[in-house]
């Protein structure tokens, strides 16, 4: 089974900062990598799929890149509403493992 | 209205059973694979099970294999999770989530889990 790791596990940044989160898979995912945002007390929300495709309605300050086994999620200018935990997930074949999450604070 | 609504959660003793339901509306349910994902209190997301668009293929996380069964009624737009031999570590908020789309022409669109319900809480405790 594919294992997912994320770094850092948490971070604190200021409004307007550029934030980058890294996700690593134990096996090649091609580009079947998704990023989710879970704001405190809320339902997870798909931000990016296929490694870099922005889900409809997601602000353009979010972007994804990478391929193979290393992927990144970037928030170009952190906003107060971006306080959340971010999860990566490989979804090509089951099990669809999630990463452990990265908690982002301001 | 495009939505997923879970139900069936509750407090149950270890070793007992529970059946979760997820009612889908506003989209062609029969063309989508569906998933269950859970989140223990204060913990991250854990994928539990997936069922193909037609209900013929099912896969489970090792942690629930042999105890949980996922099923799908396309005529009623309903997803289910039968949970047997429940353990304390199954205590979590359970979400249903929409997965891959089958276009009816032999290919799939893989786009992650693009729709989630609000979740239903399962507490396993004596």
**Which tens digits make up the pLDDT trace of B49-93?**
999 999 999 999 999 999 999 999 999 999 999 999 999 999 999
Give me Rg for the CA atoms of chain B. Answer: 14
Q: Is B65 on the interface with A (CB under 8 A)?
A: no
Subunit contact A44:B116, Cβ cutoff 8 A: yes
Give me Rg for the CA atoms of chain A. Answer: 13
User: pLDDT tier at A1 (50, 70, 90 boundaries)?
Assistant: confident
Whether a cis peptide bond, with omega within 30° of 0, leads into A8 is yes
Nearest residue in chain B measured CA to CA from A95: B61
Question: Residue A27 has what DSSP assignment?
Answer: S
Return the pLDDT at A102: 98
- Distance between CA atoms of residues B7 and B94, nearest Å: 9
Q: Which residues of A touch B45 (CB under 8 A)?
A: 36, 38, 44, 87, 89, 98, 101
Tell whether the torsion through CA atoms of A102, B116, B41 and A50 is positive or negative: negative
Nearest residue in chain B measured CA to CA from A86: B44
Subunit contact B112:A100, Cβ cutoff 8 A: no
Subunit contact A43:B99, Cβ cutoff 8 A: no
Return the pLDDT at A71: 97
User: pLDDT tier at A99 (50, 70, 90 boundaries)?
Assistant: very high
Q: Which residues of B touch A54 (CB under 8 A)?
A: none
Cα distances from A89 to residues A33, A48, A56, A72, A105, in angstroms, run: 6, 10, 18, 12, 21
User: Average pLDDT for residues A50-77, to the nearest whole number?
Assistant: 96
Return the pLDDT at A57: 96
Return the pLDDT at B3: 97
B31 phi/psi in degrees, rounded to 5: -105, 5
- Distance between CA atoms of residues B9 and B68, nearest Å: 14
Lookup: tokens for B26: 């506003």
How many other C-beta atoms can be found within 10 angstroms of the C-beta atom of residue B37? 26
Cβ A9 vs Cβ A103: under 8 Å? yes
């Amino acid at each position: 089974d594919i294992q997912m790791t994320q770094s850092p596990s948490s971070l604190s940044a200021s409004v307007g900062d550029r934030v980058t989160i890294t996700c690593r898979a134990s096996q090649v995912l091609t580009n079947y990598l998704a990023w989710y945002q879970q704001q405190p007390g809320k339902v997870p929300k798909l931000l990016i799929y296929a490694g870099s495709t922005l889900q409809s309605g997601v602000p353009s300050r979010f972007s994804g890149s990478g391929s193979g086994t290393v992927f990144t999620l970037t928030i170009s200018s952190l906003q107060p509403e971006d306080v959340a935990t971010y999860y990566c997930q490989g979804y090509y074949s089951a099990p669809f493992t999630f990463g452990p999450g990265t908690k982002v604070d301001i | 209205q495009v939505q997923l609504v879970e139900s069936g959660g509750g407090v149950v003793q270890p070793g007992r059973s529970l059946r979760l339901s997820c009612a889908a509306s506003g989209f062609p349910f029969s063309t989508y694979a569906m998933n269950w994902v859970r989140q223990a209190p204060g913990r991250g997301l854990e994928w539990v099970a997936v069922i193909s668009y037609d209900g013929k293929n099912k896969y489970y996380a090792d942690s629930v294999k042999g105890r949980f069964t996922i099923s799908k009624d396309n005529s009623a737009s309903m997803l289910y999770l039968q949970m047997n031999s429940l353990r304390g570590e199954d205590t979590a908020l359970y979400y249903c989530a929409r997965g891959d789309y089958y276009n009816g022409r032999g290919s799939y669109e893989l786009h992650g889990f693009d729709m989630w319900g609000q979740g239903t809480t399962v507490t396993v405790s004596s």
